[in-house]
Structure 1
């Protein structure tokens, strides 16, 4: 089993990420891309994806963008701008790109889009690097 396969098995294919249906599409040293299928219960009364689902996707894709550092992370802060409603969306795509990978703090730029390419939200996430290896 490769390091990446082991990482995905231990950090993606279980718990919250699995329950949400989050799927890793790409994972590179300086980029992560994931998708989430949208379920009916994840939409609000106007058929827009609930902001909590969008936020959760952004948090996951941001953390994944730091994987090359080899450390478990915990979220310190996130700034999110909801730019467009994801009305009747069947899935969302998140992309993360590290802006800063320091000794103890990582900062990641995150974009969430619908399948039409509409920018739904923009996030800047800050993570604390823990003293635990990810695999």
Structure 2
């Protein structure tokens, strides 16, 4: 049986303009408060910010059928996207206005399958190191019973 999904998103220029003049934590808090809209990637994947603080970020994703791979579980790329969102935003919280970042690498280890029965998946990431040119962060993705679905580490290139 065919299923359908529709959604909308905001013009990404809204975020580019806002990010240029705000420190990372201030920028992310404006998204969290609704002062800035949900980012297009979040609208597409349903990977949503929960909370951010100095050096950490939490995101969540409710598994849906449209997240599934051909063998009936959440596609690993969706879980990697959840982890990458939290990892990058954890680093972003440490950056001053005018500074940016991009992922250099993402290393993820999957420890169990996720599906509709997993309940809400939550990922908390924390900055491990931050220097002049690079930062690292680590994260765990947990199901609603507190079981580790995946753990990840990322390195980000910092620039201004």
Tell me which interval the TM-score lies in, with the shorter structure as reference length. Answer: 0.7 to 0.9
2:148 alignment partner, one of 119, 129, 134: 119
Matching residue of 1:24: 49
Matched, 1:69 2:95: yes
2:134 alignment partner, one of 102, 105, 117: 105
Q: CA RMSD in A?
A: 2.2
Deviation at 1:7, TM superposition (A): 5.3
Relative CO higher for 1 or 2, CA cutoff 8 Å, sep ≥ 6? Answer: 1
| Residues 63, 115 of structure 2: 8 Å contact kept | no
Matched, 1:58 2:72: no
Matching residue of 1:38: 63
Deviation at 1:46, TM superposition (A): 3.8
Matches within 5 A, 1:9-20: 13-20=38-45
Q: TM-score, normalised by structure 1?
A: 0.84
Structure 2 unaligned segments of length 5 or more: list them: 1-24
Deviation at 1:12, TM superposition (A): 7.2
Q: Distance in 1 between matches of 2:132 and 2:36?
A: 21
Matching residue of 1:6: 30
Residues 11 and 65 (structure 1), Cα distance of their counterparts in 2 relative to 1, 3 Å cut: farther
Residues 15 and 127 (structure 1), Cα distance of their counterparts in 2 relative to 1, 3 Å cut: same
Greater share of strand? 1
Q: Secondary structure of the residue that 1:17 maps to in structure 2?
A: helix
Structure 1 unaligned segments of length 5 or more: list them: none
* TM superposition outliers: structure 1 runs of 4+ over 4 Å: 7-12
The higher radius of gyration belongs to: 2
Deviation at 1:98, TM superposition (A): 0.6
| Residues 46, 87 of structure 1: 8 Å contact kept | no
